[in-house]
Structure 1
Amino acid sequence: MTSGRPAGAPLLLRFPFTGRWVAQNSPADRVPSHGTHAFGSSHAIDFVAVDEHGHSAPRGWRSAFATEPPDRFIGFDAPVLAPVDGTVVIAHDREPDHEARRSPLTLLPYLLSQSRRAQQGAGGLAGNHVVIAARESGPFVLLAHLRRGSMGVRVGDVVRVGMPIGRCGNSGNSTEPHVHVQASDSIEWSTARGIPIAFAAAAERAGWMPRNRVAFDVK
């Protein structure tokens, strides 16, 4: 898929997975989508794998009162695919996959510690992540929160749309296994600016952006 686009048009990507997913923190609902322009994340989007009922994992006492193991979730270990042709410029794979948190009892303390993770830099926020440069000067596409040890690419590798690059995990600033996608004009994260993106399920389709909490299927 080409990265060339008219000025002001979104960068067109392919979905980096197959199956049923739901969007969270979508720029179709608000910008900046994650409440900040920092780290080039103004137009970022999160994707959570769900079942036919829209659930990311079974409900039980742990989901109400405690943390949960990440492998309890449908998305954990799901293949993550390259959404754009390009060259890998970052492949970070040393962050642990931590427990998931759906319970308000565990979620609130975790959210309050977000600033500490931000101080750890890209690894603390994005966890295990890959950045693909669509061209040498960008744009740069980030896929974050991958499973530790699942990285299938290295810096310098040339990738094509649909190639496996890793697996969905729960590393970094993540409360349950999901895939975070964003595009930016730089990988100097302190000054990077976010770039609008859109997704196409096939090369011939026009791009679109899923809205929050609406499930969709990718074949």
Structure 2
Amino acid sequence: MAEPIDLAYPFTGRWRVRNSPANRVPSHGTASFASSHAIDFVPVDAGGRTAPITFDSLVRPEPPERFPGFGRPVLAPVAGVVVAAHDAESDHPAHRGLPSVRYALTQRRRAAAGWVALAGNHVLVETRGVLIALCHLRRGSVTVRRGQRVHVGDALGRCGNSGNSTEPHVHLQAVDDRDIRRATAVPLTFHGHLPRDGEIVTADAPH
């Protein structure tokens, strides 16, 4: 197995951990698209909550603007060079409750459509032969371009709900090849450790 790459958290404020490889590998239940060691960060409010769950949210899709972290800045977790920056996908409604079940039934179609259909708007940063992917960004928010050098804490875009996403969050993974279908997942840590599912991470300032 490849050596883990250590990263800074790609945000400030409070975020909840989901689908962490600290809990299981493959973290997302599949090794497809080199996602074995991927991790999701869900932005939450000061009380550690996303959007309140109501009867409506259980039976119909919700606008992503209803969630507290939609549009929150996403930062470079490592210094490197941007090798891809995609910004053209729409932010779709969030799906919880019954809508999430219906949305899950369409996941195979998105996987068949390829990486962009899953990642949505995204940025790939290369460092020492490893590529860090930050996915599901808000349409029109990406602030970097291919070939640009970035430093830890530089703004890359904003949290969105594009691609294969049920509510606004940032999906982060490390891979060893620009062709994600051929790539192998690279293990990762954040400041030397992996947070576990359910933890709330507070990063008041980029490191």
Q: TM-score range by the shorter chain?
A: over 0.9
> Normalization by structure 2: what TM-score?
0.95
1:167 equivalent in alignment to 2:152: no
- Deviation string 1:83-120 (CA, Å, 9 cap, x unpaired) is 010000011111100000112x1111110110101122
Q: CA deviation at 1:8?
A: 4.6
Match of 2:21 in 1: 27
Q: CA deviation at 1:19?
A: 0.5
Structure 1 residue identity aligned to 2:46: E
Given that 2:88 and 2:121 are in contact with CA atoms closer than 8 Å, whether structure 1 keeps it comes out as: yes
- What pairs with 1:160-199 in structure 2 (closer than 5 Å)? 160-199=151-190
Aligned mate of 2:90, from 83, 96, 101: 96
Structure 1 residue identity aligned to 2:80: G
Match of 1:208 in 2: 193
- Deviation string 1:151-195 (CA, Å, 9 cap, x unpaired) is 100100100000001000000000000000000111111210000
Ranges of 4+ aligned residues in structure 1 off by more than 3 Å? none
Match of 2:145 in 1: 154
**Aligned counterparts of 2:56 and 2:112: Cα–Cα separation in 1:** 30
> Normalization by structure 1: what TM-score?
0.90
Structure 1 residue identity aligned to 2:40: D
Which structure 1 segments of 5+ residues have no match? Answer: 1-6, 201-206
Match of 1:11 in 2: 5
Q: Give identity over the alignment, percent.
A: 54
Match of 2:125 in 1: 132
1:121 equivalent in alignment to 2:106: no
Given that 1:38 and 1:192 are in contact with CA atoms closer than 8 Å, whether structure 2 keeps it comes out as: no
Match of 2:202 in 1: 217
Match of 1:204 in 2: none
Given that 2:45 and 2:69 are in contact with CA atoms closer than 8 Å, whether structure 1 keeps it comes out as: no
**Aligned counterparts of 2:195 and 2:70: Cα–Cα separation in 1:** 21
**Helix, strand or coil: the match of 2:156?**
strand
**Aligned counterparts of 1:173 and 1:8: Cα–Cα separation in 2:** 27
Q: CA deviation at 1:62?
A: 2.1
**Aligned counterparts of 2:55 and 2:155: Cα–Cα separation in 1:** 35
